[in-house]
Structures are given as C-alpha cells and as structure tokens.
Chain A
Amino acid sequence: MTLLRYTAWRLAQAVPVLIGILFITFLLVNAVPGDPVRLMVEGQEVDQATIDMLEARYGLDKPFHERFANYVLGVMQGDLGHSFHRGMPVTELIMIRAPPTLMLVLSAFVFALATSIPLGVIAAKRRNEPADHVSRLLAIFGVSTPSFWIGIMLIIVFAVWLGLLPSGRLVYPWRDPGFYGLNNRLELWYHSIRHLILPMIALGTLQMATLMRIERSSMVETLQKDYVRLARAYGVPERTILRKHAFRSAQLPVITIVGLNLSTALGGAVLIETVFEINGMGRLIVQAIAQHDYQVVLGVTVVLAFIFLIGVIITDISYAYVDPRVSYGDED
C-alpha cells in the first residue's frame, strides 16, 4: 500500500469513530431528565406555548432517532446547530473560539518537547546517576500536580508577587496591532508571547513530564541496540552515537505519545482557559454548561474529539514517513 492509500485508509477508519462520538455525546446531552428547553428556561416564568414554540424551533419535538439523523446530516454539512444563549450558529462560535485553544495547546507541546527531549536524553545518558533520579522525581511530580493549580501558583508568583508577566487573557498575533493599541507587528508578537508563557507552562508541564519518561526509556532501549554497540565498538565517539545514531530512531515512541496526549491536553485546556480567562473552546464549553446551552456543549465536544482524531491520524502518517518498517496494515 502506498502512503497515499494508507492516508485515505486511516481517514476512512476515522469515520465510524466520528459517528460514534456524535452518538455518544448526543446521547449524553439528551439524557437530561425533562428536556433541554425546560432546563434552559428554568427559573423563568414561561407558559406552555412558549415551550412548545422553542421545542419546535430547535426540532426537539421530534423523536430521538430523527433528531440524531438530522444532527449527523447537519454536521456533515458543517452545521453544528444553533446556540440557544448567544443566538448564533455554533459553527461560527467555534470558529472564533478555536484559534486561542489551538495556539495554547500547540505552544504547550512546543514547550513540552523543547524541555523533555534534552532532559530525557540526559537522563538516559546518565542512567542511574543523580541526574537520572532528579529527572524521575521531576517527571513524577509533574504528572501528579493538577495543571490548573500550577496555573494558579504561576499567577500568584509571577503576576501577583513579582509583577513580571500578565495574569491572564491572550494577545492574538493574527489580530491587527492597533486592536491592542500597539504600533507594529513586532510589539504584537512580544505581547503575545508574554501573555502565552504562564498558560503554556501550566498546560505543558504534564506533557513535559510524560514525554520526558518516554524519551528516557526509549533512549535507554535504543542505546542498548546492536547497531549502537557496533558503532561504539568501532570507536565512534559517544556524542556522535547519541546525536546521529540513537536519537532519531528513539523519537518514534515520542511521536506516538504526542498524538495520544493531544486528548489530555485539550481536556487540560478547559481548566487552563478558565484559570487564565482565555476565551477558547474550553472556556466556551464551561460557560455553555452553566448557561444550559446544550447545542454548544455538543458542538464543542464533537470538535475537540475531531481535533484529537486528526492529530492521531497525522501522527500515524508521520510515523509511517519516519519509520520505513511500519507496515500499512495489509497482510500480504
């Protein structure tokens, strides 16, 4: 199978999963005892006619399977429904809220990779030495600490006490500098980065810790491989072995984990966006739940799962690119 066909095959495989995601979220959101309209108007004086009108408007008077079929058809056309609370299409709302989340998650992974790879390599090189033990402690505490608490602590230290960095909200580099009262692109980038640092670290710490462990164990395993021992026997310097022979092939498990951890990072973004008051998809879903805006909850959940699926497919394909040994799933 060629790489192109493999890509198509992976995409086709994602379709049942995507429909499954739609079904599960749809089922959950519709599990509301009573119905969403009643939940929406809770605490307000509303007569039966209004409720009927609202139900008809959002198609809630139809049976479950019909509503689900309509929803799937809508999603296929890029229509995620209509927000009760904000009076706008959910798709449009998500288009506005997605870029901040993606920026946050991507920067968190950049931070995590930039720190975990060197630390992991050092830990593997000095296996069972103090540096290795320290990195292990760091990694375990990293996965044990709630990301939102790291965020709160970072705000208290760097924003409240030291006053070095802003405590929240993001500055978006794709906006016009004038929007923030800035003069040029350079200043805009400077402020974007300053605003991004704390949330990026808060979200990225968990990823850093996980990736560091993977990097270490993968490096340790690679350094024991025959070809590495051969290179060593030929007298190739340890530095060169590390850089040229072992490093590249040791990155394969790391790539896989990055893809799989996208899900954790997107979930973490919900908390980090709340702590740092970032108007991304995570904060949107929290607000939507509080406002009983169930179409938005449904839409965001589906989009987050969709982003994860795309991420996994990209890692699978890049894996196939990097490692020629990967079979594309066919028997012959």
Chain B
Amino acid sequence: MATTEGQLDETAEGTGEARVGWRHTIDQVKRDTTARWGMYVIVIVTFVALFSALDANLNRLTLGHISNYAIGQALPLLEHPERIPPPGEIYRNEPPAFAEGGSWEHPMGTDHEGRDYLTRIVYGTRISIAVGFVATFIGLVGGVAIGAVAGYYGGWVDDALMRFVETIYAIPALVLVIVFTVFVSGGRPDVIYAVVGVGLASIPVFSRIIRSRVLSVREMDYIEAARAAGVKDRNIIMRHVIPNSFAPVLVYATLQVGVAVLIVAGLSFLGYGAQPPTPDWGQMLNYSHGLMHSSPWHSIWPGVAIMITVAGFNFFGDGLQDALDPRIEN
C-alpha cells in the first residue's frame, strides 16, 4: 500500500506545477495596485488587532465618568495611580480635534461615557478581525467538506446535501445569524455565537463553489488512477479532489472575511453581537444612532473603520480572482 501511495504522490505531480502557478499568481497580485493596497490594509489591520491587546492604556479606553462598569475597570488602575486622570479631565461627548471644542488629546473625540474614540476604534479591530477570520474558517471547513463530498459522490448524496445547503441559503444570512445567536445562546447573545452563526450561514456559498469545481476535477485521469489503485474515497477527496479544487474557494474566502465583518457589524448594531463594554464597531454605531442629532461624529468613525477593513479584503480578493482567472490573461 505504501508504494501505491508513493506512486500516487508522483501521479499528483500537478502539485509541483501548482506551486509554480502559485508563484505566478502572487506575482500578478503584486503587480495589481489595488490588490496590493488591499493587502497592506489587511496586514495593518491584523497587526493592529494583534498588538492593540498589548497596549494597556486603560484610562483612555474605559475611563469616563464613574459608572459601575468604570469602577470595575478602574480597580486595576489602583496599581497604576499615574494613569488615573485628574478629576477635571473627564470629558463626555467631546467632538473630534478638527471640530469646534475638540482637542488633539482625543483626535476622534470621546464617546457618551467620556472614553477616547480613537482608542475604542483601534480596539474594535480585534473583534472584527477575529470574527472575520474565525467565521470564515468555520464556513470554509464546513462548506468544503459538504461540497466536496456532494460533488465527488454525486447521485442522491449530492441531491440531499445540496437541498440542505439551499435551505440554509434561502434564509437571509443576517436573519439566520440573529435567530441562531439569540436562541442558541438562550437569550444571552454574545459575539462567540455570532461567529459560529456567520460561519454556518456561509457554508452554502463555499459548498456550491467547491462542488462545481469538484464536478470537473473528479473526471480527471489522476482521480481515475487513484480509484483504480484502490485508494480509499476519503483519501482521494482529502489529498486530490480538495487541493485541486481549492483556488476559487480561496478567493471566495478572502471576500467572505469582509462579508463576515459586515454581518457581525450589523448584528452588533442591533445589539446581538459583541456586548458592552467590549469595544466593537457595530455596537458603537448602535450607541451613536441615538446621538445622531447631537453628536453626529460618533457615527462616522466606526463606519469608516468597517469600510476600510472590508474594502481591504475585497480589493485583495478581487485582485486574487483576476490573477487566478485564466480568461483575464489575453
């Protein structure tokens, strides 16, 4: 059996070629200006998300007026008394630096509890990026498994799985995620349920994309050869079918990170995503919606942050798609 496997690896020499293909793809993405900018945005936002955790500038993040919440947050400050702002320096609803009454101490102003808006925006990247990647990963694994099995076996397996997928797809993703989050959490929604919900809701598109590729890949000679050599179906699917059908899935995954960020932002906006005091862009928009008339700047920043982050993934994904699409070449 071991020899067969060894031979098969040689049969799948395509992986060697594929690697050259990948290099070609990367070169093309690098040459695409907008895709490159998208990549910069992704790298920067991810970096900020990872390292904002290290900056424990607590008073800028959480301290405003003394609320129960602030007291809870203030306890650690007892160890760092120098970080407690003097009494006169607590401002609520301060406008951004460029507006009248603003100061550069809080470039984006402060929120309704006197917390620095810029800091909260920066911390908001953590939730968004984590949500985007984890939800996409769940959708990708689930979707690829379902789509590959459906496409490879065909027949009633395919019919049953695809009907299931269509069913999930028919329910608007946002509604599905809200219902999932609220009911599965037993009325105590949190971002973790939202992430799983978005992941499940994205299964249909992933499975459709990979299925349509698998339908052509399964007819290839090397699959035939593997089958003739007596390789188990599971190994054929895992080692040959999925790797050779993966390119469009990868493109879609990049775009899906953006979609996940948008859905969770919507969910948090409705109050079913990240719960306060965790800083989250959608949830910040939820607060600011009520302050639209008195302090409209609150509504600007989180939206811009979401837009830039999601656009980063979309530009990159778009460039990747062009690079992988052979029709664009000529």
Which of A14-22, A50-58, A107-115 lines the interface with chain B?
A14-22
Instruction: Kindly list chain A residues whose C-beta atoms are within 8 Å of the C-beta of B314.
Output: 140, 143-144
Contact with B along A247-289 (1 / 0, CB 8 A): 0000000000000000110111011001100000000011001
Q: How far is the CB of A311 from chain B (nearest CB, A)?
A: 10
The answer on a CB contact under 8 Å between B171 and A301 is yes
Instruction: Kindly list chain B residues whose C-beta atoms are within 8 Å of the C-beta of A146.
Output: 262, 265-266, 269, 282, 285, 303, 306-307
The answer on a CB contact under 8 Å between A263 and B170 is yes
The answer on a CB contact under 8 Å between A271 and B170 is no
Contact with B along A134-157 (1 / 0, CB 8 A): 001100110111111100110110
User: Taking A24-B167, A28-B184, A156-B292 as contacts, is the C-beta distance between A145 and B306 under 8 angstroms?
Assistant: yes
Bound-state Cα–Cα, A25 to B177, Å: 11
The answer on a CB contact under 8 Å between A270 and B172 is yes
List which B155-176 residues lie within 8 A (CB) of chain A: 163-164, 166-176
User: Taking A16-B163, A145-B306, A146-B265 as contacts, is the C-beta distance between A275 and B175 under 8 angstroms?
Assistant: no
The answer on a CB contact under 8 Å between B170 and A17 is yes
List which B299-316 residues lie within 8 A (CB) of chain A: 299-300, 302-303, 306-307, 310-311, 314-315
Q: How far is the CB of B169 from chain A (nearest CB, A)?
A: 7
Bound-state Cα–Cα, A292 to B282, Å: 23
List which A112-142 residues lie within 8 A (CB) of chain B: 136-137, 140-141
User: Taking A148-B269, A156-B296 as contacts, is the C-beta distance between A267 and B183 under 8 angstroms?
Assistant: no
Which single member of A32, A152, A285 contacts B285 (CB below 8 Å)?
A: A152
**B178 at interface, CB cutoff 8 A:** yes
User: Taking A21-B167, A25-B171 as contacts, is the C-beta distance between A144 and B311 under 8 angstroms?
Assistant: yes
Which single member of A42, A275, A304 contacts B187 (CB below 8 Å)?
A: A42
Instruction: Kindly list chain B residues whose C-beta atoms are within 8 Å of the C-beta of A141.
Output: 307, 311
14 contacts between A and B (CB under 8 A): A32-B186, A42-B187, A136-B34, A137-B34, A140-B311, A141-B311, A145-B303, A146-B306, A152-B303, A160-B293, A270-B178, A271-B270, A300-B175, A305-B171
- Interface size of A in residues (CB-CB distance below 8 Å): 52
Bound-state Cα–Cα, A205 to B169, Å: 21
**A181 at interface, CB cutoff 8 A:** no
The answer on a CB contact under 8 Å between A268 and B174 is yes
What 9 A-B pairs have minimum CB-CB distances, sorted nearest first? A267-B172, A20-B167, A149-B303, A267-B174, A144-B311, A144-B310, A33-B186, A305-B170, A266-B172
Instruction: Kindly list chain A residues whose C-beta atoms are within 8 Å of the C-beta of B252.
Output: none
Q: How far is the CB of B85 from chain A (nearest CB, A)?
A: 30
Most chain B CB within a 10 A radius of its CB, from A28, A141, A160: A28
Q: Report the number of A-B residue pairs with Cβ-Cβ less than 8 Å.
A: 147
**B192 at interface, CB cutoff 8 A:** no
Which single member of B166, B176, B289 contacts A17 (CB below 8 Å)?
A: B166
Closest-by-CB residue of B relative to A36 is B183
Instruction: Kindly list chain B residues whose C-beta atoms are within 8 Å of the C-beta of A294.
Output: 183
Contact with B along A296-319 (1 / 0, CB 8 A): 010011001100110000000000
Contact with A along B228-268 (1 / 0, CB 8 A): 00000000000000000000000000000010001001100
The answer on a CB contact under 8 Å between A39 and B173 is no
**A29 at interface, CB cutoff 8 A:** yes
**A95 at interface, CB cutoff 8 A:** no
